[in-house]
Structure 1
Amino acid sequence: MSVKRFVGATTRDVMRQVRLTLGPEALILASREVPEGVEILAIAEDDLGVMTQGAVAAEAPQVKSAAVTPTPAASPDTDFAALSSRLLSEMQEMREMLSRQPTHTDTEVDHSLQAWVQRCVLDAGFSQQLVEELLSELPPVLLVEQGNAADWLYQQLSARILVPDSELELLNAGGVVALIGPTGVGKTTTTAKLASHYVLHHGNQGLALISTDSYRVGAKEQLAIYADILGVDMYALSEEVSLKDLLNKLTDKHLVLVDTMGMSQRDQRLVEQVGQLCNGDLPVRLLLLLNAASQRETLAEVVDTYKAAATAAGVQLQDCILTKSDEAARLGPLLDTIIYKKLRLHWLSCGQRVPEDLVPVDRQLLVREALAIAHTNTAQETPKVLEKTVVTSTAVESQSAVVSKTGRTAAGLFAVLEQHVPDFNVLQQAWALIGLPVSLQAQRLSELYSLIPQRDCSAVLWARQKPLFGCAWLMPDLALSDAGLPLLLARQDNADLVSHIAWASDTLGVASHILPGLPEAPVWQWLAEREMPWIAVVHGNTFVHFQDARCKLVQLPSEQLAAYQGDLRYRGQSVQVVLQHWPVQMKSDSTQTQAWCATLSVPNSELVVDRYYWLAPDYAEMGDCIRLIFEQLRHDELPGLTRQAWSLLEASGLVAQDNELLRFLSTSIAALACYLDYMQTRWAIDLRTHLAHVLGRRSYNASVLLDAVVHLLVTTK
């Protein structure tokens, strides 16, 4: 085999030809623009040694005579072929020269990389203390397989930011939460945003709002307007009723949000105010709001003062929300303060809209945004630094060889996925559509939907028909294969849920369903007539009738014997699941229904991680209900992972894509990451280790696996 010539309209088209013909290990020898577009010379890596030796032997006498003998005119193709031979000869000479020269030492590599890391971190607004910590942990050599220098820096900074295990942990935990912070930080608006998110996930029955702000004009009225819109109870503190007495009257509420009066960190009354908040019979969780646009010194003073006031009141201040991030010139000072003050960051407020401008924290994206200003300043230096990070003690590798290594890593991992994950090739084909004009992407995508096999589907995970939080599009429905792999389904336009369920049953042979909420009467009747088992996700405040009494699901007797107990990998950790069920009725005169509760706890402890509720028809067998509940829990992360994939794809520079294609890719990648996370076969365990290694990580969860898959897809595009 010899050097091969490839021609295409764009560089991307030609590179795709190279990979298909020579594989991902191919080395690029030369490229140039031609009338047809782009021309590239490439060779398979295995043939490089043979070709180099042959080229050197053949070219040696010609080079010597070229100086005294005239060379006849040659065609452009002949010139380009001759160029390839000379390149091969020069590569051999370069290798010999490098083998005679001393290699770069680890110290030289460290100095170059240290300077780049220091400038990036300081320009972003982080402290010198953090720079010194990072430099002390800097590996002497950063190999491409472990992520480049920027990836390493993102991971190091992200790992230092404390976040809750679940994005809804604050709301799910319930209790009394008091929002505190300086005047004008946005406590009232943030209270309304948190209340809106709670209502979206749990309904409005278990929530109450309290305003203690009697100084700022219109504060109580503003919160009252939001409470009226949400349909929740709101109370304004008065001189006649103390906060302690008011909280004692609200013990039936799952969550009470307290909007406090803004107070400067230098106000002498601050300790008294925090003391009054924490002086009741019920424990109060303090939530500090920090203005992202504040200076580092101000932020540190605010945290120190409010922490001291909390300590004086006998409680700990550990939680915070970042506000006005859209007004901040740099996020580094705020993140640095959160890191060293050991605060847990729950939410990010980025505007005045309720609830859209309050989003869960994505550490990776937050760090990337914080470092964006530094990367702008160092953009011209980065390639040199990254080039030095792949210097080894024995050889200096060319850029094409570095790309080749990344290609080999991706090719090997993708080969495992192709072998063990059904229809991984559909995701690869969808990814290949990125190179097409936007006008063709939707057309080709509709053809891909038809390739998803309509077979071996054990259940359908029906999506909520409302936009995914933070996005303008709906989460697609997913068919679960017998192996548990989620497969995308395309809904028919303007068709009701009964029609979709009937289509899935007839076409896919699906006989059980996971519903996002209680089915409406037509759906319930259709399923009942065919005695198809189903479960519906509901919140704990749903009212049912149990033993002739009306109560909420959370009030059902907890001493009920467990129907099943087992282990599950849930949101990146191993948990123990205890299932209980009760015979209930939705109304006193309605048919019998099953109520189910899953309590997720840390193994061998009493620490509860989360609790879920479902309703199921009375004819559903216990085994079917348990199977569907575990399937729903395994895929509980899918919406959040889909948002993460969407953000990564947008940030990767893959712009001007059809939104439906990005939705397909985001959901497919998220489903793959979720599937890989809970699979316990040997190939999956090994693959997870390799994927985590791509990002330089030792541990993994679905989020890390998703990052690694996107990284490999983008870098090998």
Structure 2
Amino acid sequence: MSVRRYFGANNRDAMRQVRESLGPDAMILSSRQLDDGYEILAMAEDALDEKVAQADKPPANDFAALAQRLLSEVQEMRSMLNNQQKKVTPTVHPIREMVNILQAAGFGTELIRELAAALPGNCNDVSAWLHEQLQQRIQLPSFPAELFSDGVIALVGPTGVGKTTTTAKLAAHYVMQFGPEQLLLVTTDGYRVGAREQLKIYAGLLEVDMHALEEGEKLDVLQDKMCGKKLVLIDTVGMSQRDQRLTQRIAELQAGAETPAATRPLTRETTQKTTQKTTPKTSNTRLVLVLNTASQRENLDEVVCLFQRTARESGMVIRDCIVSKVDESVRLGGALDVLIRHGLILHFVSNGQRVPEDLELPDTEALVNLALNGVAAEYAEFSQWLANFGEQSATPARAASGALQAQGKTVASLYEQLRADLPGFDFIESLLNIGELPANDQEAALTQWYADIQAEAGKVQPKTLHWARTKPVAGVKWHLANLPADIESCLLPLPILPEPVANIAKIHQNLGVQQHIFQMLPSEATLNWLNSPENGLQPWVAVINRNHRFRVRNADSKAATNATNNAAAKATNEKEERVAALALRTRLNSHHSVQLHYRGEAAKLTLGSVAVKLMNSSVEYQLWYGELAAEARGAGLVRRFWLLPKTVAADTAKNLIVAQLKGDEAASLTRQTHNLLQKAGYEHLSQPVSVALATTLAASAIHVEQSMAPVFNTARQRLFNLSGKRGKANGQKILAGLIQLLEATVAIQIMSAAGVRSE
């Protein structure tokens, strides 16, 4: 018998060579992953005709039985494979697992030792424990936007960390909440070309007073300008932490001895009396350190140490910080490590250049997820390498595929179950086939694939359509597709190509959806369509930025309403305020509580609402605000605003908000899936095909996690077992199981490519 060896960049490339050389009926004898590619041993079918004829014919669709029979029949030929050794992934000690995760994420040895000492001996889910511990160790202010308390605030830090842009963002947020009259901007940056002009432009746009301090000048010269101002923001010159002039620059930020009490900040240790006429011995200027998260951990550590030491030498302290350039950071662990070890209080997170949109209040869960979730694959590979030092190690997905070939019957059964019970899952195979086409043919085939998906969605008649944001997913350059949801509000893996929102009427008609969920405020044309009685006044909800401004009745409107015979009262009743959503939390006039399951854990959602109008519209809407907290841990999970039509009843509004939260993970999970696919042997797929596959798998994982249908109870448990994870099943763990299921199915099909025939 003539056995031939084929070598390719991946299993699909090697299989393509086999088909071209031996035809579609070639017999696959063995396949394995090598350091530099993929190897397949195969032979022509006619060379095995006599041997195959002697064997009992296995069931046509039993992949596992066929794979096992083929392996036993060609055992003699397997001696040519250089004694391939069966790899068994050993059990990893919890501390070793924790060390691998934290080191891969960029954390330092000091914090790792501290966490290792606190790790419980009976810990069953190291990853979940780490997430909880790191979130608890990040210090936050006593209340949101505490930095806007009255006083003098100076942003300090090395060059290029984004102090000027951050100052402009802080100023814009302050103006939106409190107005421009009580804010003063100051710049001391006379070195960088255009620095003063840049801040001056922002000050002009915000209608805020601004002053530039010359080199050597202290804050004393601004006494007159600071009178009557509640907040003074200082953009300082960027200097290296090793610059000898740093001490002098920090000292120049001290407020003078006659600083008015109105301009002094409240410290954490004591509260200054408003009648105090002179400053205390310690400077009352509050220093806020701006840290670039894209820098190395060692560099950030030195910046904090030297800036804090310099501040102490000048009679000042640095306890507060803002982290910048989160969108440019590859590994966030180093920055979190420095924040935790030095006990810095994190006030804001800057993740882009836009003013003021890219400045957010810190979300500890999101920060820890960014730091840890992306290193899961790297940790698994490194752990395998440590356990099998000196031997060839496979990636986690490949190792899982090899193990799953021995359990092919279970894998095939699970795969067929998902194809039958989850609308859209059976389109994955055709998507993989598109990825094997020549590059010139893929675009047309993918367009037809989306058309078939939309036709299938029309047959399913989804209840809800989740409209994706019009801008790319955070951290990548591609857009998320629109996703329908069933009557349970569970996402369906039927991605609808993003179209201009003006086509909402067409999409609505083709799919027959009953309600709409938007991840941002719809356009004016879409709002007009939604509010038109001719279109049935469909229920909808839109996620709203906390800084979005609305028109609301002023505080005197309610009293004026009762005095209808008084003309002055009527005029007062018509007065309206323009207020940011964040400032409306204190005016909520109704409160509701909802229990739900959010990202793998039980949670409680507290809601309230208030009537508002958009700035450019006379239509009245409902603005809802909600805080979601984990019941078991008591930790805050989500704080968010939603806009709904005035005509929507309270119960319908709550259901719409819960439906939005249930699909909340789609964007982040799709991005994570896209990254995992690149590491699992699918890097040859074009970006549009890879994104479509990632979207379908992510929506499938969310559906399997959230669906209460009995058929998905078994699928959920099997996928969780395939993931090899511990703890509670959530979308991320089910996604890992789905990717391994896909890899195992492909591997089994390769093994049985020549033996499975239709009768």
Return the letter of the residue paired with 1:249. Answer: K
- The equivalent residue for 1:421 is 422
Q: Does 1:437 align with 2:438?
A: yes
Return the letter of the residue paired with 2:371. Answer: R
TM-score (norm 1): 0.64
Q: Is the 1:563–1:580 contact (alpha carbons within 8 Å) kept by the matching residues of 2?
A: yes
Q: Does 1:497 align with 2:482?
A: no
Aligned-pair distance for 1:242? 7.1
Q: Does 1:543 align with 2:540?
A: no
TM-score (norm 2): 0.61
Aligned-pair distance for 1:415? 4.8
- The equivalent residue for 2:537 is 531
For each residue in 1:354-406, what CA deviation from the matched residue of structure 2 results, as whole angstroms up to 9, or x when unmatched?
9999998633576589999x99xx99x9781537999xxxxxx9999546258
Q: Does 1:506 align with 2:487?
A: no
Equivalent of 2:670, from 642, 663, 666? 642
Q: Does 1:214 align with 2:188?
A: yes
Q: Does 1:698 align with 2:727?
A: yes
Return the letter of the residue paired with 1:520. Answer: E
1:543-622 to 2 correspondences below 5 Å: 543-546=550-553, 547=557, 548-551=574-577, 552=579, 553-556=581-584, 558=586, 560-562=588-590, 564-570=592-598, 573-586=601-614, 590-603=618-631, 609-622=637-650
Distance 1:301 1:432, change over 3 A: same
Distance 1:388 1:414, change over 3 A: closer
Return the letter of the residue paired with 2:158. Answer: T
- Residue 665 of structure 1 aligns to a residue whose secondary structure is helix
Distance 1:365 1:549, change over 3 A: same
- The equivalent residue for 2:230 is 249
How many residue pairs align between the two structures?
Answer: 628
For each residue in 1:190-225, what CA deviation from the matched residue of structure 2 results, as whole angstroms up to 9, or x when unmatched?
6279679x99xx997789897655154247525416
Distance in structure 1 (CA, Å) of the matches to 2:681 and 2:551: 50
1:131-170 to 2 correspondences below 5 Å: 162=134
Unaligned runs of 5+ in 2: 33-38, 53-57, 214-218, 257-262, 269-285, 361-365, 558-573, 747-759
- The equivalent residue for 1:633 is 661
If asked which structure has higher relative contact order (CA below 8 Å, sep 6+), I would say 2
Equivalent of 1:188, from 142, 154, 163? 163
Distance in structure 2 (CA, Å) of the matches to 1:501 and 1:104: 53
Distance in structure 1 (CA, Å) of the matches to 2:186 and 2:472: 34
Aligned-pair distance for 1:650? 4.0
Q: Does 1:363 align with 2:371?
A: yes
Aligned-pair distance for 1:666? 2.6
Return the letter of the residue paired with 2:482. Answer: D
Return the letter of the residue paired with 1:617. Answer: P
Q: Does 1:486 align with 2:515?
A: no
Aligned-pair distance for 1:543? 1.4
- The equivalent residue for 1:289 is 291
1:311-326 to 2 correspondences below 5 Å: 316=319, 320-321=323-324
Aligned-pair distance for 1:480? 2.0
Equivalent of 2:457, from 439, 453, 456? 453
Q: Which moved more, 1:418-427 or 1:178-187?
A: 178-187
Aligned-pair distance for 1:468? 3.2
Q: Does 1:384 align with 2:391?
A: yes
- The equivalent residue for 2:479 is 474
Distance in structure 1 (CA, Å) of the matches to 2:529 and 2:396: 64
Q: Is the 2:551–2:576 contact (alpha carbons within 8 Å) kept by the matching residues of 1?
A: yes
For each residue in 1:71-113, what CA deviation from the matched residue of structure 2 results, as whole angstroms up to 9, or x when unmatched?
xxxxxxxxxxxxx36337999xx99xx99xxx9998xx999xx
- Residue 486 of structure 1 aligns to a residue whose secondary structure is coil
Distance 1:367 1:193, change over 3 A: farther
Distance in structure 2 (CA, Å) of the matches to 1:464 and 1:35: 52
Aligned-pair distance for 1:338? 6.6
Distance 1:339 1:366, change over 3 A: farther
Distance 1:234 1:35, change over 3 A: farther
Distance 1:655 1:616, change over 3 A: same
1:286-365 to 2 correspondences below 5 Å: 286=288, 288-290=290-292, 296=298, 299-305=300-306, 316=319, 320-321=323-324, 362-363=370-371
Distance in structure 2 (CA, Å) of the matches to 1:576 and 1:124: 31
Q: Is the 2:5–2:42 contact (alpha carbons within 8 Å) kept by the matching residues of 1?
A: no
Distance in structure 2 (CA, Å) of the matches to 1:557 and 1:345: 22
- Residue 590 of structure 2 aligns to a residue whose secondary structure is coil
For each residue in 1:640-699, what CA deviation from the matched residue of structure 2 results, as whole angstroms up to 9, or x when unmatched?
333333333345453353333223223223323333444456665665565555254435
Distance 1:421 1:220, change over 3 A: same
Distance 1:322 1:490, change over 3 A: closer
* Identity value in percent: 22
Distance in structure 2 (CA, Å) of the matches to 1:423 and 1:324: 33
Q: Is the 1:176–1:282 contact (alpha carbons within 8 Å) kept by the matching residues of 2?
A: no
Distance in structure 1 (CA, Å) of the matches to 2:715 and 2:207: 48
Distance in structure 1 (CA, Å) of the matches to 2:410 and 2:136: 33
Return the letter of the residue paired with 2:657. Answer: I
- Residue 578 of structure 1 aligns to a residue whose secondary structure is strand
Q: Is the 1:27–1:404 contact (alpha carbons within 8 Å) kept by the matching residues of 2?
A: no
- Residue 575 of structure 1 aligns to a residue whose secondary structure is strand
Distance 1:207 1:439, change over 3 A: farther
